[in-house]
Amino acid sequence: MDVPDLLRHAADVVPADERSDADLGANDVREYLRHHEWEVALGILEDFDGIRWQTVRFWDLLIEAAQQMWLADDVTWLHWRRSETLHGLIRADLQLAAPDAGGRRSPIPGKGQLRPLWSIGRTAAESHDELHIARIRVESAPEIPPGGRGPIRLLPLTPSHWRHLEPGDTVTMHERNPVAATATITQIEHPPH
């Protein structure tokens, strides 16, 4: 399929009453496609929040369209969203420890490259905190500076271990001693299946 067909098929998956963060819907996508505005149409489809109705097939259509348009950053983001559909969505507010208090001296990169350890409130048989790996994706900024704060998405290596968490819970990020950051969970959506 070519890009317009892929995006048209993806728009057909969007429920009629669903609106993006910019208050646009599937009909808006179709209108942009009529005017050959493929990147705008893709951007609208990427902008639908949550994982309630998005299917793996929906994300696969968007990934293929982004690959055909040579949009590497979009491809990476769409793979992330596909993983959230499969494993769940976790958003949090991250507060990094100050560098003079033992925190990072470099920023948290924004595109999901960092995979630190997290204490998520589970205790091992030896009565110490279990640590779990999760990738970080910074939202609404290219990075979080040392000692800074910002919204993030987490993509756990073992999602089932994180299912007990709820909005308001706090988890801690560990890269070395002391704790590198704390994150307060702001949104959790479990996969629909």
β-sheet bridge partners, residue 136? 154
Model pLDDT, residue 176: 79
Model pLDDT, residue 21: 87
Q: What does the DSSP 8-state code read for residue 20?
A: -
Q: In the Cβ-directed half-sphere of 103, how many Cα atoms lie within 13 Å?
A: 21
* Biggest CA-to-CA distance, the chain: 62
Model pLDDT, residue 128: 66
Q: pLDDT category, 6, cuts 50, 70, 90?
A: very high
What pTM, to 2 d.p., does this model score?
Answer: 0.89
What does the alpha-carbon distance between residue 168 and residue 64 come to, in Å, rounded to a whole number?
36
Residue range 136-181, pLDDT digits in tens:
999 989 999 999 999 999 999 999 999 999 999 999 999 877 789 9
